[in-house]
Amino acid sequence: MKTNVSLKAVNGELNGEIILTWNAVKKASGYTVEICSHNIRKVWEQVDFVTRPKCIISGLQKGKTYMFRVSAVNNTQPGTGSYIVKKEI
């Protein structure tokens, strides 16, 4: 499934919180949300699977830069990752 999402990251209301939003993908049954710490070798970790085009990630360290990406999936196949968004907390 081709993922064509416009991923955006903004600071949340709480310290160490990021809110990710993106446009919905037709026929997607959900979205895999991944994170990578900019200071560590590029190892992506799945932090959530959501059914709506929004995800709140908390517990992030202030002063660190993180990278995020989202993949739309349907019932039969995973999608390709979105563009990577970097955000400093």
Residue 13 inside a domain? The answer is yes
Task: Give, in order, the Cα–Cα distances in Å from 42 to each of 14, 17, 22, 67.
Answer: 26, 21, 22, 9
**What pTM did the predictor assign?**
0.87
Judge whether residue 36 has pLDDT over 80. yes
Judge whether residue 2 has pLDDT over 60. no
Residue 21 inside a domain? The answer is yes
Residue 56 inside a domain? The answer is yes
Percent of the chain with pLDDT over 70: 89
Q: Which residue segment(s) compose the domain that 41 sits in?
A: 8-88
d(CA 1, CA 24): 13
d(CA 17, CA 9): 10
Which range is most confident: 1-5, 13-17, 85-89?
Answer: 13-17
CATH number at residue 54: 2.60.40.10
Domain tally for the chain? 1
Question: Which DSSP category does 62 fall into?
Answer: T
Going by pLDDT thresholds of 50, 70 and 90, the confidence category of residue 26 is: confident
